[in-house]
């Protein structure tokens, strides 16, 4: 089975913004289009919290990506014109070094021994990748959600490495509401009996806590107006509605459940 995923392993110690270091961390990424001879048509794409680097399909991986309609021949980010690089953020679990990765010093998973991660670390690790690709200056940096923060940090810390920056649904920093929600999400995961202070079994993570945390997050990703327009008070059909007390009755509940199941089955809680 072919894969479009590429990896870059930094040969050395990567010093984290808040202290600590990673030894020879790996950054996973995918590319589309062709880098021109002057290497001035490269676009760097930072994702939000949950996606992998698979932003769009390609000949090596025909499955639809999380930004399928945006990347491709004749699409807004045109692969006939640009060389697109999507990175899986440092600290994630889709190929880049993160808490689920093996610590080369111990041979065990980092888990909560992973150094405290900052947005600046995501930006700096992506910069190392760009250097490895011998790209002096990016045409554009694009970031969505958390990726917008990563992109902004990239621009601030490496201003000579890019010409343009596009931030989508992002901000310069987390506001009090977001901080409060993230605090509750962490409590939900840590309250799951299977959490075990981050030392859960690989095949038996704190799924229930993670699902609740994801549902809470999903609610905040859309406005009240959009939820009303999209779902209203639409009820589930008799065939899909459970007869159990307190179980799902409305379509929006089913949507949140499906989103939580999809996320929790693939994303490392640490």
Strand 42-46 to 140-144 pairing: parallel
Where among 112, 143, 172 does a domain terminate? 172
Task: Dump pLDDT digits (tens) for 20-39.
Answer: 999 999 999 999 999 999 99
pLDDT score, position 269: 94
Range of the domain at 243: 174-270
Together in a domain, 61 and 122: yes
For residue 199, what is the domain's CATH number? Answer: 1.10.1740.110
Task: Dump pLDDT digits (tens) for 248-266.
Answer: 889 999 999 999 999 988 9
Please state the pTM of the whole predicted model.
0.92
Q: Please report, to the nearest 10 degrees, the dihedral formed by the alpha carbons of residues 32, 38, 39, 42 taken in order.
A: -60
Please give the Cα distance from 156 to 169 (Å, whole number). Answer: 18
Please provide the average confidence, as pLDDT, over all residues in the chain.
94
Together in a domain, 191 and 104: no
């Amino acid at each position: 089975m072919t894969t479009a995923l590429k990896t870059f392993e930094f040969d050395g110690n990567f010093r984290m913004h808040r202290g600590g270091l990673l030894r020879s961390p790996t950054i996973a990424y995918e590319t589309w289009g062709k880098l021109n001879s002057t290497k001035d048509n490269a676009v760097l794409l930072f994702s939000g919290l949950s996606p992998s680097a698979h932003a769009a399909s390609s000949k090596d991986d025909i499955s639809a990506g999380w930004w399928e309609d945006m990347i491709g021949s004749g699409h807004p980010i045109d692969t006939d014109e640009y060389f697109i690089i999507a990175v899986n953020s440092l600290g994630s679990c889709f190929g880049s070094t993160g808490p689920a990765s093996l610590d080369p010093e111990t041979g065990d998973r980092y888990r909560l021994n992973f150094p405290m991660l900052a947005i600046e670390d995501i930006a700096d690790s992506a910069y190392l990748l760009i250097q490895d690709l011998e790209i002096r200056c990016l045409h554009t940096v694009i970031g969505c959600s958390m990726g917008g923060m990563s992109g902004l940090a990239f621009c601030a810390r490496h201003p000579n490495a890019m010409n343009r920056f596009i931030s989508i649904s992002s901000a310069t920093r987390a506001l009090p509401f977001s901080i409060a929600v993230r605090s509750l999400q962490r409590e939900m995961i840590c309250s799951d009996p299977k959490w075990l202070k981050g030392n859960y079994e690989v095949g038996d993570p704190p799924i229930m806590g993670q699902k609740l945390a994801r549902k809470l997050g999903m609610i905040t990703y859309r406005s009240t107006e959009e939820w009303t327009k999209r779902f209203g008070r639409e009820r589930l059909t008799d065939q899909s509605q459970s007869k159990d007390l307190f179980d799902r009755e409305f379509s929006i509940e089913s949507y949140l459940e499906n989103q939580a199941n999809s996320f929790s089955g693939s994303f490392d809680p640490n």
